[in-house]
Amino acid sequence: MAHIDPYKILGVGQNASDDDIKKAFRRLARKHHPDVNSNSKMSERKFKELSEAYEILSDKEKRRNYDMFGNVDPGASFNGFNNFRRGTAFGGRGFGANPFGSQQSSGFGSGAPFDDLFSDFFNRSNNRNRFQHESQKGADLEYNVKVSFLQAYQGTRLSIDTSHKKIEVQIPPGVDNGSKIRVSGQGAPGSRGGAAGDIYLRISVDDHDFFRRDNNDIHMELPVTLGEAMLGAMIEIPGPDGRLALKIPPGAGHAKKFRFRGKGFSSLKDSSRGDFFVMLKIVLPKDIDEYTKELVQEFERQNPMDVRSEF
């Protein structure tokens, strides 16, 4: 091979410092390394020239001989880098061998001059190649889902349009605002045979017209007449999972509370359930005629009460 100037190969001048040479080699070697160029033959040749040029200029004695005689060995005929190809470069092992073995050179530092330059580079390259060939799990996806109060109470099945397909999802009874449901294996597809990601559904629950949730308990105000509260009554009321019979005892006052055990929300943590509370709300007529007023006044005379005695 014809003589090639190592300074020209590395793109530095003859007065370049050791640090300048090292930086030039590192920059060009990364650019032309076969691992980052699909192992092309041209990259291999270029990388070989860069390595041989750096082997000369990183060794103080070889660089001095080259500057003085145009050859690293004044006693031998220097024909390009043939002596390096026959075994001088990399401790006699040539380009195909591992240049980072135990043999040392008189370059920068006490170890082989390539150790500090390429250890990180080859680690990154190997990690990248391994990453490119390993299977990867698909991305997790998150969707906001709104359900009605009764759907949250009873549980429901919903059809969800994801970014890549339509799926059926079971919403368990007991979900509340902010509940997060994981649907395994329904997220984005994996690559190179990797498993699909997961879907996470963030739940929001609509308010109900007359039911109110408090943790797992349900509360409702029940309007009743004055007569129902005074005389008692058996009435049918709406419950979260169907109609319920409520017996109001005579003399039940305003805000009297009744409890239906186990009629509240299911717990997502265990098998327990909340309760359903019904509170009476006495509703009086807005317009009272004169006759009714007289009846009420007569009732007051017949049933005197000091309801503010404690005040």
What DSSP string runs through 174-232? T--TT-EEEETT-SSPPBTTPPP--EEEEEEE---SS-EEETTEEEEEEEE-HHHHHH-
pLDDT at residue 250 is higher than 90: yes
Predicted local confidence at residue 190, as pLDDT: 86
Residues 153 and 124 both lie in one domain: no
* CA dist., res. 279 & res. 68, Å (int): 106
pLDDT at residue 298 is higher than 60: yes
Residues 76 and 178 both lie in one domain: no
Residues 19 and 121 both lie in one domain: yes
Residues 63 and 126 both lie in one domain: yes
Residues 65 and 109 both lie in one domain: yes
Residues 11 and 126 both lie in one domain: yes
Residue 93 pLDDT level (bands cut at 50, 70, 90): very low
Residues 120 and 151 both lie in one domain: no
Predicted local confidence at residue 116, as pLDDT: 56
Tell me, yes or no, whether 106 lies in a domain. Answer: yes
Nearest in space to 274 (alpha carbons), one of 235, 310, 239: 239
Residues 219 and 192 both lie in one domain: no
Mean pLDDT over residues 88-117, rounded? 43
Tell me, yes or no, whether 307 lies in a domain. Answer: no
Q: How many domains does the chain have?
A: 3
Residues 115 and 23 both lie in one domain: yes
Domain end residue (candidates: 205, 228, 260): 205
Tell me, yes or no, whether 63 lies in a domain. Answer: yes
DSSP 24-60: HHHHHHHHH-GGGTTT-HHHHHHHHHHHHHHHHHTSH
Predicted local confidence at residue 74, as pLDDT: 59
pLDDT at residue 249 is higher than 90: yes
Residue 100 pLDDT level (bands cut at 50, 70, 90): very low
State the CB neighbour count (10 A cutoff) for residue 64: 11
Task: Share the mean pLDDT of the chain.
Answer: 82
> What element of type H or E holds 263?
none
Predicted local confidence at residue 101, as pLDDT: 39
Task: Tell me the pLDDT tens digit for each residue of 111-161.
Answer: 445 555 555 555 555 555 555 568 888 889 999 999 999 999 999 999 988
Tell me, yes or no, whether 89 lies in a domain. Answer: yes
pLDDT at residue 86 is higher than 50: no
> Is residue 71 within 8 Å of residue 61, measured between CB atoms?
no
Residues 152 and 256 both lie in one domain: no
> Is residue 257 within 8 Å of residue 248, measured between CB atoms?
no
pLDDT at residue 83 is higher than 50: no
- Put simply, whether the predicted model's pTM sits higher than 0.75 gets the answer no
**3-class DSSP state of 129:** helix
Predicted local confidence at residue 97, as pLDDT: 40
pLDDT at residue 96 is higher than 80: no
Mean pLDDT over residues 71-94, rounded? 47
Residues 23 and 118 both lie in one domain: yes
CATH for 153: 2.60.260.20
Contacts 24+ apart (CB under 8 A), 17-22: 18/58, 18/108, 21/54, 21/57, 21/58, 22/58, 22/108, 22/117
Containing structural domain, residue 201 = 141-205
Predicted local confidence at residue 106, as pLDDT: 37
Predicted local confidence at residue 162, as pLDDT: 82
Q: Which of 33-37, 124-128, 214-218, 260-264 bottoms out in mean pLDDT, i.e. has the lowest?
A: 124-128
Mean pLDDT over residues 66-86, rounded? 57
Task: Tell me the pLDDT tens digit for each residue of 164-187.
Answer: 788 999 999 999 999 999 999 988
Task: Tell me the pLDDT tens digit for each residue of 14-55.
Answer: 899 999 999 999 889 888 877 767 667 888 888 888 898 898
pLDDT at residue 79 is higher than 70: no
Tell me, yes or no, whether 228 lies in a domain. Answer: yes
pLDDT at residue 271 is higher than 80: yes
> Is residue 175 within 8 Å of residue 233, measured between CB atoms?
no
* CA dist., res. 229 & res. 250, Å (int): 6
